[in-house]
Amino acid sequence: MFIAIQQFHKLRNSRWHLITQFLWGLILGSNYIGIVDAEARYYPYRLNNFRISVSTDIGLLTNSADFISKHSVDNPSLTPVSILLVKPCLTAEMEFGRFAPYAGIGYSFFNFMSKNIPANEDTTTDGLNLNLGLKYNLFQHFFVNVNFDYIRCRIEGELPDISYNRDIFLLRAGIGYSF
């Protein structure tokens, strides 16, 4: 029992967490799926069970096969689109035993990649990011993590300023390692 408590205490005092996750892009009506997602989180401040962290998350999403097959009938030139997502974030976390709910605010950057995008067309967007999550400490250095992100994107150019184009929702789940 003492060894388990001592190992759990080491996890609580770790300053760095690395997380690899599966990413579901609830973007534009579930049209994107995650390929890979990784996050590095640093905890510079701790007061009892309250911690502040700064993190950077990098993810890659692509059109779902269902989306391509459903819409290629109307648009035969439709090709897969990939999205590179970078999300720096500031997070507050409160530990309750092995559970640690958290909330964060950050800014997200998106880069859209496709062979059909003209060279002179802007393929980036960005926006404010709010997230909620829950971390569960498994043992010594390992934990599971689930979080939900809401991103409010800037709309520029000819794209209509409607919720479908502006609001992005992401759901991520994965495993993490602390040191």
What confidence tens digit (pLDDT) does each residue in 28-81 have? 445 677 778 899 999 999 999 999 999 999 988 887 666 666 656 666 556 677
Question: In 26-166, where do the E strands start and end?
Answer: 32-47, 50-63, 82-94, 99-113, 124-139, 142-153
64's CB contacts (< 8 A; 6+ apart) are 30, 31, 32, 33
Instruction: For domain 2-178, give its CATH number from 3.40.718.10, 2.40.160.20, 3.40.50.670, 3.50.50.60.
Output: 2.40.160.20
Give residue-wise pLDDT tens across range 81-111: 788 899 999 999 999 999 999 999 999 998 8
- The domain locations on the chain are 2-178
Cβ–Cβ under 8 Å, residues 106 and 126: no
> What's the pTM value of the predicted model, to 2 decimals?
0.78
pLDDT of residue 90: 98
Question: So what's the pLDDT on residue 3?
Answer: 38
